[in-house]
Amino acid sequence: MTQEATHRAIEAVWRIESAKVIAHVARLVRDVGLAEELAQDALVSALEHWPEAGLPNNPGAWLMAAAKNRALDRLRQDALHARKHEELGHDLDALQAHVVPDFVDALAEASEDDIGDDLLRLVFTACHPLLSTDARVALTLRLIGGLTTDEIARAYLVPEKTIAQRIVRAKRTLTEARVPFEVPRAADLPARLGSVLEVIYLIFNEGYSATAGDDWMRPALCAEALRMGRIVAELMPDESEVLGLVALMEIQASRTSARVDAEGRPVLLMDQDRSRWDPLLIRRGLIALARAESLGGARGPYVLQAALAACHARARKAEATDWAQIVALYDALAQVAPSPVIELNRAVAVGMAFGPAAGLEIVDALGDEPSLANYHWLPSVRGDLLAKLGRLDEARAEFERAADMTRNARERDLLMARAHAVKSSP
């Protein structure tokens, strides 16, 4: 193996193992910033030893042992400087009891549950509500995703320094607040889990909104989010909202190849070439959704959104869409997670299921909604319904209004084209 090939192989191992190593060390040293440092030291050691000695049989266990040794050394050092010798002494004795002669083999047999618990603790810590959303996203991509600072920066179209500082400050915030390295208690779990899912879905949407000219790291965010969602679903198989989010992302990802046409223009869901939808991802999404629903209980927002996506996914042609079912799902979603945007989507579904007049009623009720004041989909939907009702001049005006509102050149072209299409109707 060439030097470069070995390095890339080691990087691949790191990508696979780093989150688990950081998580396990974080439990020992009780600080994620320090844990990442120590894990990085283990990586440096691997980069020094493996090119000559070859990759070990169990590279994960090797890295884990190397990082753990450094953690124990650090704790011993701190103990020498600390005043509370006895307290730390107890901790060290307990820790050293884990270090048996054939420690690499012992670690290789370390309970999968232990590693899973640590990883879950890391996920919750990286998504801690003390941190800003930007900070949570960067820290999650770094600690769970194993992305480099440069990769995160390219994905978010910001300078590397910005991300580096964001991560440093995030770690400092957690350290100074002495955030415990733990899975939240049952009472706090729903809100904390909500934060985790929000972070993952934000990352997914950032990738989903990427356009053809962007750095390839941007669309890669979708795959990262999917991967992290699947990991959390494995760690929390009884949480229906986690499965719901995974189902939603699998199905949305299934449409990646149909969402833009050959010229790079966005294609609306109803106009997409469904033969370009990925059946494997749809199947995975439907399975995840079924598992979520089999857990029983009230359906949360992610499960409902996944059910909506599944509705579309099951229709072989746009004409076969079960709009009544979609209306029912939006009704449920409006109860659980009401928002003007949800209401607008509900209006579209009602228009399809019960006729444009019914849909227009709902849209008109949203006319004064302040949060939709600059939302170009509102006039766009209104225009569509008016056109179907034969109110052509009003429809054209709405499409032109929508075109003015959008900052996206391709979307503007699409809307102006619709405006012109109305004008030329008899």
Which one of 42-50, 63-71, 124-132, 254-262 is the stretch in contact with other proteins (CB under 8 A)? Answer: 254-262
> Footprint of other proteins on residues 381-410 (CB under 8 A)?
none
234 interacts with other proteins by CB under 8 A: yes
Which one of 62-70, 225-233, 288-296, 301-309 is the stretch in contact with other proteins (CB under 8 A)? Answer: 225-233
Nearer to other proteins, 114 or 234 (CB): 234
Q: Name the residue among 112, 162, 113, 138 with its Cα closest to residue 32.
A: 138
Beta carbons within 8 Å of 257's beta carbon, 6+ residues apart? 276, 277, 278
Residue among 61, 226, 348, 372 that touches other proteins (CB under 8 A): 226
C-beta of 406: minimal distance to other proteins in Å? 25
229 interacts with other proteins by CB under 8 A: yes
Please tell me whether residue 297 adopts helix, strand or coil conformation. Answer: coil
Residue among 263, 268, 294, 319 that touches other proteins (CB under 8 A): 263
Cα–chain center distance at 53: 38
Beta-bridge partners for 266: 260
Q: What is the 3-state secondary structure (H, E, C) of 172-218?
A: HHHHHCCCCCCCCCCCCHHHHHHHHHHHHHHHHHHHHCCCCCCCCHH
By the 8 A CB rule, do 139 and 170 touch? yes
Residue among 262, 268, 320, 409 that touches other proteins (CB under 8 A): 262
* Residue 412 in tokens: 């503007």
Neighbours of 172 (CB within 10 A): 11
Query: Which amino acid belongs to residue 398?
Result: E
Residue among 15, 76, 85, 161 that touches other proteins (CB under 8 A): 15
Calpha distance 374→389 (Å, rounded): 25
C-beta of 63: minimal distance to other proteins in Å? 13
Nearer to other proteins, 18 or 345 (CB): 18
Residue among 76, 98, 276, 420 that touches other proteins (CB under 8 A): 276
Evaluated on CA atoms 225, 228, 234, 235, the torsion sign reads: negative
291 interacts with other proteins by CB under 8 A: no
By the 8 A CB rule, do 292 and 303 touch? yes
Map tokens 């359906």 to a residue: 299
220 interacts with other proteins by CB under 8 A: yes
Beta carbons within 8 Å of 231's beta carbon, 6+ residues apart? 119, 144
Nearer to other proteins, 107 or 381 (CB): 107
Residue among 160, 198, 214, 278 that touches other proteins (CB under 8 A): 278
Query: Which amino acid belongs to residue 203?
Result: I
Calpha distance 159→152 (Å, rounded): 10
> Footprint of other proteins on residues 97-126 (CB under 8 A)?
112, 116
C-beta of 248: minimal distance to other proteins in Å? 15
Nearer to other proteins, 151 or 241 (CB): 151
User: What's the N-to-C CA distance of the chain in angstroms?
Assistant: 71
By the 8 A CB rule, do 116 and 124 touch? no
Burial class (CB in 10 A: 0-12, 13-18, 19+), 55: middle
C-beta of 116: minimal distance to other proteins in Å? 7
C-beta of 178: minimal distance to other proteins in Å? 30
The string of DSSP codes covering 20-54 is HHHHHHHHHHS-HHHHHHHHHHHHHHHHHHHHHH-
214 interacts with other proteins by CB under 8 A: no
47 interacts with other proteins by CB under 8 A: no
4 interacts with other proteins by CB under 8 A: no
Nearer to other proteins, 10 or 402 (CB): 10
244 interacts with other proteins by CB under 8 A: no
Q: Name the residue among 292, 316, 291 with its Cα closest to residue 303.
A: 292
Which one of 27-35, 79-87, 221-229, 330-338 is the stretch in contact with other proteins (CB under 8 A)? Answer: 221-229
Beta-bridge partners for 260: 266
C-beta of 9: minimal distance to other proteins in Å? 6
Which one of 193-201, 273-281, 288-296, 302-310 is the stretch in contact with other proteins (CB under 8 A)? Answer: 273-281
C-beta of 27: minimal distance to other proteins in Å? 18
Residue among 121, 284, 299, 382 that touches other proteins (CB under 8 A): 284
C-beta of 297: minimal distance to other proteins in Å? 24
Binding residues (CB under 8 A) for other proteins: these are 8-9, 11-13, 15-16, 55, 59, 112, 116, 220, 223-224, 226-231, 234-235, 256-257, 261-263, 276, 278, 280, 284
